[in-house]
Structure 1
């Protein structure tokens, strides 16, 4: 019999909110900034050119693969420099991009479910992305946020999960990691000794576990279903 869950670590992108709309907004915000302040860069770097630059970045700078903010800053500086624009604009351009990146649209169940979960156990965000919970306005529901850029390696690296458990002060076997990605979230957390919950929403990008992979402890369609499970579990646990 498993010990009770005493804390939850949560993925963010495509678990708490869909990431694609936020990225579309962020790219549009960068285009708008360039159009107003760096028109040569706007002309030289349409969407297709930016995508090719991202592929070039992946090839030439694999050491930045875990740090989305560093990646984007490098790309912006490169676009400005190659277009003959003043690279002093890079900080403002990144700020415009990042502000839009944090304009997320939560899944309909997410906010209420997070409130319910946080009322039962501490929550920590463990993400490969760079969205900021404080900017988004839900940091009060989390004990902390640990990103791959801060840690120095991305999920599924077991170390990032273990670092979160250490900060929570809870053994891995009593921490439930919740996420949408079978490889990064479920397999990575399993290797670190955490228990796992695969949030598999209808129409999700990740629609199946890899063949032969150990199943997650929980397989649920939403965060509200997880909140239902946690409340029922806590309500049936014996008093200490």
Structure 2
């Protein structure tokens, strides 16, 4: 929607915030360096056990084509990144003439590396401050595990699209996260990087929303976030942290 039709944002009310929900990928850590590293680990695994598949996947566009084919044939998995990745590996093995039964083990090699994340510099001190003051819950459409990534001690729980059966921006996952903390959606501040999935989704679910945008991107939706912050330090400051 054109910027000329953007609605006036509601003022942020820090006094309403009794709990915080957070996205994970590209909010607490950059996702693409993590995925690229995990894909390299997967390729090395395949070179040892399924060399034909490893060679085939070196051809530009092959993996993307397989992924699109899997998505088209399995719409029931659109909320399950793990199932999509595992099936894409199986299809690649089959197409290259390797044993498709290797797919689960190959996926586990990828998945273990996918959990090795590098936090943004602002995350550690900010999350320590936030977790000491608010109960927090993670809401993610991805397949990161809060405990395997090392951030679980900050959260009371986590809701993933894969396990919940439906992801953002649909309201049920936001409402379930709020209920898990025994607060109303209106008492939750949701923080995330994705304008549509995180911010608009949270607003439609009745939450206050903070758009964490670490780069220069225009806002293109009718409803606006209550807060726009460049990092978690700025979020803490908006919530009253001294000198944040």
Same fold (TM over 0.5): yes
Q: Secondary structure of the residue that 1:231 maps to in structure 2?
A: coil
Task: Confirm or deny that 1:92 pairs with 2:105.
Answer: yes
Contact kept? 1:66, 1:152, Cα under 8 Å: yes
* Aligned partner (choices 36, 40, 46) of residue 24 of structure 1: 36
The offset of 1:83, in angstroms, is 2.3
* Aligned partner (choices 178, 192, 196) of residue 183 of structure 1: 196
* Aligned partner (choices 220, 223, 226) of residue 210 of structure 1: 220
Unaligned runs of at least 5 residues, structure 1: 234-240
Q: Which moved more, 1:224-233 or 1:117-126?
A: 224-233
Please provide the CA RMSD for this pair. Answer: 1.6
Q: Which moved more, 1:51-60 or 1:22-31?
A: 51-60
Q: Secondary structure of the residue that 1:198 maps to in structure 2?
A: strand
How many residues align structurally? 229
What does the per-residue CA deviation read over 1:149-190, in whole Å, with 9 as the maximum and x for residues that have no partner? 111112111111011111111100100000011110011011
Regions of 4+ moved over 4 Å = none
Q: Which residue is 1:80 aligned to?
A: 93
Contact kept? 1:120, 1:231, Cα under 8 Å: no
Unaligned runs of at least 5 residues, structure 2: 1-10
Q: TM-score, normalised by structure 1?
A: 0.90
Pairwise mapping of residues 73-222 of structure 1 onto structure 2 (< 5 A)?
Answer: 73-203=86-216, 207-211=217-221, 213-222=222-231
Task: State the structure with bigger RCO (CA 8 A, min sep 6), 1 or 2.
Answer: 2
Separation in structure 1 between the aligned mates of residue 183 and residue 117 of structure 2, nearest angstrom? 30
Q: Secondary structure of the residue that 1:153 maps to in structure 2?
A: coil
